[in-house]
Amino acid sequence: MTVATSTKPPIDWATVVFMVAIHLGACFAFLPSNFSWAAVGWCLFLHWITGGLGITLGWHRLLAHRSFQTPKWLEYFFVFCGTLSVQGGPIWWAGLHRHHHRYSDQAVDHHDSSKGFWWSHMEWMLREVPAEEDVARFTKDIADDRFYLFLEKYFLPIQLVLALFLYALGGWPFIVWGVFVRLIVVYHTTWLVNSATHKFGYRSHESGDNSTNCWWVALLTYGEGWHNNHHAFQYSARHGLKWWEIDMTWMTIRFLQAIGLAWKVKLPEEA
């Protein structure tokens, strides 16, 4: 008799426990004693700092794709902001993202959308990630940067420092909203780029995968939802290519360019 076996990698219990803890922590926001408009304000502000300036602009368009250049101190600032999102270290994240583009929606893609919405959205990270073995191959340009190595090693203690800062400002409500709720919102909006924008929306370009342009994901992720555009021109600093494809991160890059803090900005016709 043949016994069926799963082809999915083994469960990564450390990640599972961490994710359960963060989601449970966010549930404390439903307690009236943990609500304040100031705490919600810090949540929204830190969502922009960590998810917008950090992950979208810093880790994705600047570090992973090198779609523009900035002074090194500003690059370090943006990448530090991304570290506050607790999505791993910047070297690990950039390496996996470059791997995804190399093998998008193929069997070795760690969040291959062909395996279903739940898998590409979240399940893949709750299991061991075979693609991690290729991170070194995809990150030779940043692997020896001492600042990035520091962030790679200490991103969890850095979050603890942020939590202590928020506690000093406003007590437990600031931690519940500024850490737990904010992390959950940043997580799921980031993950929607892996799941929803490989399933919902329209396609403007033939990119060789399932990527789509999804307007509501773009609104939630500062412009990352124009994902089919991005996969067609992955080195472009601009993802919203039509006038009505709102891309807040591109607006930020244009502002930095106007004041002399961004240059060598790559666009589709140049990529």
Q: How far apart are CA 63 and CA 181, in angstroms?
A: 26
Q: How confident is the model at residue 239, as a pLDDT?
A: 97
Q: How confident is the model at residue 269, as a pLDDT?
A: 75
Helix axes 146-170, 72-83, angle to 10 degrees: 60
> pLDDT band at 8, cuts 50/70/90?
confident
Q: How confident is the model at residue 186, as a pLDDT?
A: 98
What percentage of the chain carries pLDDT values higher than 90?
Answer: 96
Arithmetic mean of pLDDT over the chain: 95
Query: Does residue 271 have a pLDDT over 60?
Result: no
Query: Does residue 7 have a pLDDT over 80?
Result: no
> pLDDT band at 1, cuts 50/70/90?
very low
Query: Which token pair is 146?
Result: 């001492």
Q: How far apart are CA 78 and CA 49, in angstroms?
A: 9
Got the DSSP string for the chain? -PPP---SPPB-HHHHHHHHHHHHHHHGGGSGGG--HHHHHHHHHHHIIIIIIIIIIIIIIIIIT--SB--HHHHHHHHHHHHTT-SS-HHHHHHHHHHHHHTTTSTT-TT-GGG-HHHHHTGGGGB--GGGGGHHHH-TTTTT-HHHHHHHHHHHHHHHHHHHHHHHHHSHHHHIIIIIIHHHHHHHHHHHHHHGGGTSSB-SS--SS---B-HHHHHHTTTTTBHHHHHHSTT-S----STTS--HHHHHHHHHHHTTS-BS---TTT-
Q: How far apart are CA 204 and CA 241, in angstroms?
A: 10
> Average pLDDT, stretch 114-142?
95
Q: How far apart are CA 96 and CA 164, in angstroms?
A: 31
> pLDDT band at 81, cuts 50/70/90?
very high
Q: How confident is the model at residue 196, as a pLDDT?
A: 97
Query: Does residue 3 have a pLDDT over 90?
Result: no
Q: Residue type at 33? A: S
> pLDDT band at 6, cuts 50/70/90?
low
Q: How confident is the model at residue 5, as a pLDDT?
A: 43
Q: Identify which has the larger pLDDT, 105 or 271.
A: 105
Query: Does residue 213 have a pLDDT over 70?
Result: yes
Q: How confident is the model at residue 202, as a pLDDT?
A: 96
Query: Does residue 270 have a pLDDT over 70?
Result: no
Q: How confident is the model at residue 244, as a pLDDT?
A: 95
Find the range with the poorest average confidence among 6-15, 93-102, 174-183, 250-259: 6-15
Query: Does residue 4 have a pLDDT over 60?
Result: no
> Average pLDDT, stretch 220-235?
96
Q: How confident is the model at residue 14, as a pLDDT?
A: 96
